[in-house]
Structure 1
Amino acid sequence: MGFRLPRVVNAKKLLQMSLSNASQAATNGADIPKGYLAVYVGDDQTEMKRFVIPISYLNQPSFQELLKQAEEEFGFNHPMGALTIPCSEDTFVDLISCLNSS
């Protein structure tokens, strides 16, 4: 019953880098890097957080479940102008951590 903290720490660092890259891209007006996708995550539309994730995550079954939820809630009209995922930020970070470790 051990915990794999190094992987979680690495995943958090990757997300922080993605967030800082996203902030710089938004500030500089630069595009998202090739092979990545911007998504907005949050339960409340007023407090959405932007993540830049690899496109390869779209093929993962657990991520596809989030996409189904997004489709049910928003259809194809995403209010943030990019893919919007209706889940808590903590849930999303946990999912990304699991995808990074596999």
Structure 2
Amino acid sequence: MKNMEESLKRAMMLKLFIRKLKRVLLLSASRGANVRETGFDEVMEAAKIVPVDVKKGHFAVTAIKGEEPKRFVVKLDCLSNPDFLSLLEQAKEEYGFQQEGVLAVPCRPEELQMILEKRRRRRASTEW
């Protein structure tokens, strides 16, 4: 039962995260362009433009605590990582869902790097 609750919680977090990404893409695409003048289809097309370093199946996150914020490009499968989901929950509590631009998480870059490295090591050990 607990696993089912955890799965539902993760699914909801993923749904909220995807909704947030769509909103951010639409906002960034429409900056400087009046939606009424350009038309919805053109705005939607512009929203598909993703920075070159963000490959398919990835998204950008910025760790903003500490001296210097740092941007990371992470795989979507990080959304199943409990440590990363905890960061998203903290971001929701601190910033709400009204963030504009890249998704910001409330941790130091070193902390996010450790979470991502731990995930990579865990995945690499299961692939052998």
Task: Give TM-score, length-normalised by structure 1.
Answer: 0.63
Q: Deviations over 1:31-77 (max 9, x none)?
A: 72110000011215x83211100010011111100100010111112
Q: 1:71 maps to what in 2?
A: 92
Could you tell me which of 42, 45, 53 is aligned with 2:64? Answer: 42
Percent identical among aligned pairs is 35
1:62 aligns to 2:108 (yes or no): no
1:83 aligns to 2:90 (yes or no): no
Partner of 2:94, secondary structure, is helix
Partner of 2:65, secondary structure, is coil
Q: Count how many residue pairs are aligned between Structure 1 and Structure 2.
A: 72
| Residues 91, 106 of structure 2: 8 Å contact kept | yes
Asked which structure has the greater CA Rg, the reply is 2
Partner of 1:98, secondary structure, is helix
Q: 2:31 maps to what in 1?
A: none
CA-atom RMSD, angstroms? 1.8
Alignment gaps of 5+ in structure 1: 1-28
Could you tell me which of 81, 96, 119 is aligned with 1:99? Answer: 119
Greater relative contact order (Cα < 8 A, sep 6+): 1
Segment of structure 1 superposing worse, 49-58 or 31-40: 31-40
Q: Deviations over 1:7-40 (max 9, x none)?
A: xxxxxxxxxxxxxxxxxxxxxx537211000001
CA distance, structure 2, for counterparts of residue 75 and residue 85 of structure 1: 11
